[in-house]
Structure 1
């Protein structure tokens, strides 16, 4: 019986020892650190202009005045330099019978400033310009098409000071 009790005690001791070896306790960690990195860089400066403007129809006469229409534009500026801008325009073709004005500027095949802003906001700057179309001395009934080429120039401190 002593052998049986001794075997039971040894076996129980081995079981208790093996079960206590399987239970592992780690130290509690209650704090941590995360590095957060970021960088602000210069972004794009873009010009978006209405792709088409339809002046409608007018009857043939010695002077065909189509009146004026607004052309919408958006200057998106994430450059970090918000000192203004100039939008210039020119016609991609010549027609001595056509008069196409943006504001007070008569367009030709030479680039001319039509919008000048002394300042602008970071992000989207949306506005519109008035375009006036007139034909003088046309003799044909037909569709007339013109194409305006736009360009954007960022303002500088010297330009704004003038």
Structure 2
């Protein structure tokens, strides 16, 4: 029994000695490096216009003046230059009886500038234009529709200077 206890103590001592030799201690302070990078690039420029504007109803008469309605628009500009923009509009259909104005500009099948801004902010530029609709010479009861095509042109330094 003494031999067994002695051999157990010796084995235990060998195990403790061998495990203490394999133990590694870390430094108290560790250092590292992380590279952080980013890049700013040109973003989109978009135009969003009200999809529909309803001028309501008028009784049949020689001149149907439907009055004015506002059409909302948003120019979202993440291009990085804040030099303004121009919005042009044209009618995609022709009708000699119709007068559709945006501001003071009467629309036709040729694009004409209806909004000119000399500066804009990065992000959303929200505003509205006033549209006036009048029909002359309508001789029957009917639903009248028009379609406006909008286009956006970014401003340049030269355009703003003029």
TM-score by length of 1: 0.92
Rounded Cα–Cα distance in structure 2 between residues aligned with 1:137 and 1:58: 14
Helix, strand or coil at the partner of 1:60: coil
Rounded Cα–Cα distance in structure 2 between residues aligned with 1:30 and 1:56: 74
How far does residue 15 in structure 1 lie from its aligned partner after superposition?
2.6
Deviation digits for residues 5-63 of structure 1 (CA, Å, limit 9, x no counterpart): 86455334313213314533223333322111110000000000000000000001000
Q: Indicate the residue corresponding to 2:158 in structure 1.
A: 158
Helix, strand or coil at the partner of 2:36: coil
Q: Indicate the residue corresponding to 2:91 in structure 1.
A: 91
Spell out the pairing of 1:1-16 with structure 2 (5 A cutoff).
7=7, 10-16=10-16
Tell me how large the CA RMSD over aligned residues is: 1.9
Rounded Cα–Cα distance in structure 2 between residues aligned with 1:4 and 1:151: 98
Spell out the pairing of 1:12-161 with structure 2 (5 A cutoff).
12-161=12-161
Query: Unmatched 5+ residue regions in structure 2?
Result: none
Q: How many residues align?
A: 162
Rounded Cα–Cα distance in structure 2 between residues aligned with 1:137 and 1:98: 9
Query: Unmatched 5+ residue regions in structure 1?
Result: none
Deviation digits for residues 81-119 of structure 1 (CA, Å, limit 9, x no counterpart): 110000000000100000000000000000000000000
TM-score by length of 2: 0.92
Rounded Cα–Cα distance in structure 2 between residues aligned with 1:154 and 1:36: 33
Change (3 A) 1:10 1:115: same
